[in-house]
Amino acid sequence: SQQGEEDPQALSIQEGENATMNCSYKTSINNLQWYRQNSGRGLVHLILIRSNEREKHSGRLRVTLDTSKKSSSLLITASRAADTASYFCATAWGGNTPLVFGKGTRLSVIA
């Protein structure tokens, strides 16, 4: 069963704009991870945020976590055509436990 639900399901923006994707989940978590998947390819890990953290940054990525609302957001700043992909959030109830994935957000960045 899928715990995470990403919103929106699809997002189309112009190059240089910011893209924000949201994820909601249902149960308590140890950590939440964001992944990128290019069409027909594997999953690339972007960032992990733990339940006791509220915000993390990595390059052009900013992730927030609100455990009281059971939600997370991924912000990609100054988007590029190469950012076009599907983005998934995944939650883990413990350390090194299986990930429960959402259905993903399809991001299209138009040059």
Partner 1 sequence: DAGVIQSPRHEVTEMGQEVTLRCKPISGHDYLFWYRQTMMRGLELLIYFNNNVPIDDSGMPEDRFSAKMPNASFSTLKIQPSEPRDSAVYFCASSGSGASTDTQYFGPGTRLTVL
Q: Which two tokens stand for residue 12?
A: 């189309």
Identify the residue among 21, 63, 92, 109 touching partner 1 (CB under 8 A). 92
Residues 50-71, buried b or exposed e (16+ Cβ, 10 A)?
A: eeeeeeeeeeebbbbbeeeebb
The least CB distance from residue 3 to partner 1, in Å, is 11
Which of 25, 34, 87, 101 touches partner 1 by CB under 8 A?
Answer: 101
Q: Find the binder of partner 1 among 35, 74, 85, 107 (CB under 8 A).
A: 35
Q: Under the criterion CB under 8 A, does residue 30 sit at the interface with partner 1? A: yes
* Size of the residue set binding partner 1 (CB under 8 A): 24
Pairing of strands 10-14, 105-110: parallel
Contacts of 58 (CB under 8 A, 6+ apart): 46, 47
Is residue 57 a contact residue for partner 1 (CB under 8 A)?
no
Tokens 């919103």 -> residue: 7
34 binds partner 1 (CB under 8 A): no
